[in-house]
Amino acid sequence: MLFLDDLMESQRFQMTIGLAIVANAFVLAGEVDHPNWLGWIFFDNFFLLLFMFELVGRILHNGLWGFFSRSNMVWAVLDTVTVGLGVFDTWLAPLCKAFGVIVSSNGTSGLRALRMLRLLRMIRVIRMFPKIQNFMVALVSMFGSMVWIFLVLAMFMVSCAIIMRTHLGEDVDGTFADVLAAEGSQGDEGARKLSHISFRNVPTSLFTLFVVITQDNWRKVADPVIEFNPAMQMLFVVFIIIGSWTMISILTAVASDSMVEATADRKDEEAREAMVRAQAFISFLQESFKAADADGSGTLDKYEFEGMVNQDYVVAEMHRLGFSMSTEELMKLWDILDVEMSGERSITIGLF
């Protein structure tokens, strides 16, 4: 069980599971584009067995009630459900089909949707990688400021959409085919028709202005309007300066500031956590030192120290507090620190 505990808490193992989750998403993407390749069966079974091993290992490591504790309930249910869906889709569905039961992950949209639900496992990657956690914290922290920026931008765009609809739009029916036909038209009539279709009502005008604000082929919208009504030239200039340059720059500044602030807060939090762990580790060493001092002399000899560090609860607690040295390494450290060659260490002097 000690090996299992070390494995479940190992950063390398967690990194492996995180990379496996990302790789599994790419496998699902490949299955969607090339469903008939037989090699997908191997990958599906490999990832399913890996995730089942990790799920069972975490349950054994934390205990059933610890795994489904209130603080871990959401993640526990998510992992259990996604693994269960994988078992049903990879093993049970083909087995039922072999026995004549009409269950096919490729033939029913319901089961295909269940397979896509396995992508929910990607959410766990946020929990596994601290950098992604910092990014999500920054997104949440800047959400309030961005709401007000988007509100101002929406008011500006609605006002411009109303102006464009009033001066350019007409009560005409237009489809995508009409837009293409109008783009192929020449002269003032073609420009007029395209302008009317692009700004025929306020919602359409809003979407058209959204295309302009992205500056992606915005001249396809602006050139016919300016040709049909040259007075709109200044409106497009003002709209791009305010909507595309100013507001987008403000959004970028808010995002950058939030990222820097979130990173700084995370570093402070990590420093506080490290200090708390260090204090807890020192207290634990003091208690373990006193408990291992069998003769009550106030000092530990090498044999008492060796007996202390070989106890399972001591090793487990040291690993939990982030001290990952092995028993052999601790004994070597004892020899290094025993510079006086006395063979004893006092709690007042300290072990480390």
Q: Which residues contact 8 (CB under 8 A, 6 or more apart)?
A: 57, 58, 61
How many Å apart are CA 280 and CA 287, to the nearest integer?
A: 11
Same domain membership, residue 284 and residue 233: no
Q: Are residues 243 and 280 in the same domain?
A: no
Q: Which string of DSSP letters, residue by residue, matches 262-279?
A: HHHHHHHHHHHHHHHHHH
Instruction: Identify the residue whose tokens are 């083909």.
Output: 94
Residue 352 lies in a domain: no
Residue that finishes a domain, picked among 128, 151, 169: 128
The parent domain of residue 26 ranges over: 2-128
**Token pair 């998510």 in the structure block, residue:** 78
47 and 122 belong to one structural domain: yes
**For position 49, what pLDDT does the model report?**
93
Whether residue 167 lies inside any domain: the answer is yes
- Angstrom distance (rounded) from CA 232 to CA 228: 9
Quote the tokens at residue 131: 């950098």
| Per-residue model confidence (pLDDT) at position 169 | 64
The pLDDT value recorded for residue 175 is: 47
- Please report the DSSP string for 126-181 in residue order: HHH-HHHHHHHHHHHHHHHHHHHHHHHHHHHHHHHHHHHHHHH--S----HHHHHH
Please indicate, yes or no, if residue 351 is contained in any of the structural domains: no
pLDDT at residue 260, rounded to an integer: 72
Chunked in runs of 10, what are the mean pLDDT values of the chain (352 residues)? Answer: 71 86 89 87 92 90 84 84 84 73 51 72 78 75 82 91 80 46 53 75 89 85 82 87 87 77 67 72 70 66 71 71 69 63 53 44
DSSP 201-246: SHHHHHHHHHHHHHTSSTHHHHHHHHHH-GGGHHHHHHHIIIIIII
- Residue 326 is part of a domain; what is its CATH number? 1.10.238
Q: How many domains does the chain have?
A: 3
What CATH number is given to the structural domain containing 161? 1.10.287
